[in-house]
Amino acid sequence: MSLQNRDKKHLWHPLTQHKLHPETIAITKAKGCILTDENGKEYIDAIASWYTCMYGHCNKYITDRVSDQMQQLDQVVFSGFTHEPAIKLSEALIEILPKNQNKIFFSDNGSTSVEIGIKMALQYHFNNGEKRNTLIAFEDGFHGDTFGAMSVSGLSVYNGPFEEFFLDVKRIPVPNGENSHEIITLLKAIVSNNQVAGFVYEPLVQGAAAMNMHDAEGLNAILKFCKNHHIITVADEVMTGFGKTGKHFASLHMETKPDVMCLSKALTGGLLPMALTTCSQKIYDAFYSDDISKGLFHGHTYSANPLACTAALASIELLQSEEIQNNIKTIIASHQAFGNRIKHHPKVKSTRHIGIIFALDLNVEMQRYGNLRDKLFKFFMDNGVFLRPLGNTIYIQAPYVITKKQLQKVYQVIEEALEII
């Protein structure tokens, strides 16, 4: 029996309504940018498996290092113990993070890194003797699927059963270059009626909101406002981190730096699950006390797993290499050219890109998009390219190691898709 059919017996997949989407594709091999399915068909992974495998699948530089580490130290409790992979990783991260980041807290997925960021913001004020229970977040944001992360995410049809259990969150629109004044007025109203603890946001690009990009200057103004009102700023860089926006972190595009940062996805180059919540000394100091209850009593069994730390360290070395930095520049130039070529196509409403993230909105009626999305997905897969359209948006977020030829093939399949819709 095929893997595809055996899968159906016991497996329950994430974000899937199995009655409407019963089919899965069984992948048996991945190397570089290529996924191979059980029938030997190959696909270019043009979204780097949800933006994780940025240095290519099964990257030998990373797998060799992890394989060596496996012979040395596999796993140990990170409460009361420490180890070299975590220490080396912290040193490498502090080199590249915004200058104000000074402490690193481990967990194992993006949602959890956001939960910890929210806890840091809430307990920061609690420890300082202030009761602040409200959070601010952008409309249409996505921060993960645990309760705190869901609370700060935009209200979605998927959250219906849980909404009454959510944290208190006030929402503001993303800055679009024209609404800065309106946003600041809204923020003033929010702080005068609520005790605001923190602002949780995806800097510059909202991934799940179909790669919705926003204005750095407008965001900087919001961050400044938060600083002035002692609102802890929590940058969710789970998607944007590690080079996606052309800089190592999206927060480096803004003058005002976040108090807290959440990282995962590309952190380990896709090899192992791990996440980090980093913070400034100011945050850490609010927890540092003779009073045990002021500590951050949060922990996960696999916190700072030595294998994941090793994969992350090797990934950061690759990110900083001349080769990867040159590839990023090449991809940016290539997206620019593709955008210019395609933006006047009658089926294209608009294109946008930042760093290696490219998105185009289709000029189609929204009510059709349910079927259209499935039709496009099938067309891309039939043509050997793994792209996952979001609503009427097609986006590319390919590994940094994608070859020119592979990238041209991705563009070409998108152009062909415009002719079938």
Ligand X SMILES: *Cc1c(COP(=O)(O)O)cnc(C)c1O
Residue 140 sits in the site that holds ligand X (CB under 6 A): no
Contact letters for ligand X, residues 97-136 (x by CB under 6 A): ------------xxx--x----------------------
Return d(Cα 342, Cα 299) in angstroms, integer. 48
Task: Between 144 and 246, name the residue whose CB sits nearer to ligand X.
Answer: 144
Identified binder of ligand X from the candidate list 142, 249, 379, 400, rule CB under 6 A? 142
Residue 305 sits in the site that holds ligand X (CB under 6 A): no
Backbone region of residue 294 per phi and psi (left: phi > 0; alpha: psi in -120 to 50; beta: other values)? alpha
Return d(Cα 100, Cα 283) in angstroms, integer. 11
Return d(Cα 294, Cα 287) in angstroms, integer. 5
Residue 8 annotated as lining a ligand binding site: no
Footprint on residues 159-198 left by ligand X (CB under 6 A): none
Identified binder of ligand X from the candidate list 115, 140, 236, 259, rule CB under 6 A? 236
CB of 146 vs ligand X, minimal distance in Å: 7
Find the distance separating the first CA and the last CA of the chain, reported in whole Å.
35
Q: Which two three-digit tokens encode residue 397?
A: 């977020």
Let me know the angle formed at the C-alpha of 254 by 251 and 258, rounded to the nearest 5 degrees.
50
CB of 219 vs ligand X, minimal distance in Å: 15
Element spanning 56, H or E: none
Task: Between 116 and 417, name the residue whose CB sits nearer to ligand X.
Answer: 116
The residues pairing with 233 across neighbouring beta strands, listed in sequence order, are 199
The residues pairing with 31 across neighbouring beta strands, listed in sequence order, are 34
Give the number of residues in contact with ligand X, rule: CB under 6 A: 14
Instruction: Residue 273: name the closest of 281, 265, 285 by CA.
Output: 265
CB of 238 vs ligand X, minimal distance in Å: 4
Identified binder of ligand X from the candidate list 121, 204, 219, 239, rule CB under 6 A? 239
Residue 265 annotated as lining a ligand binding site: yes
Q: What is the DSSP letter of 57?
A: B
Token pair 């002035």 is found at 228
CB of 247 vs ligand X, minimal distance in Å: 17
Residue 244 sits in the site that holds ligand X (CB under 6 A): no
Residue 268 sits in the site that holds ligand X (CB under 6 A): no
CB of 7 vs ligand X, minimal distance in Å: 21
Q: Which residues are annotated as a binding site?
A: 50, 110-111, 236, 265, 299-301, 388
Q: Which residues are annotated as a binding site for pyridoxal 5'-phosphate?
A: 110-111, 236, 300-301
Summarize as ranges the residues that interact with ligand X (CB under 6 A). 109-111, 114, 142-144, 202, 207, 236, 238-239, 264-265
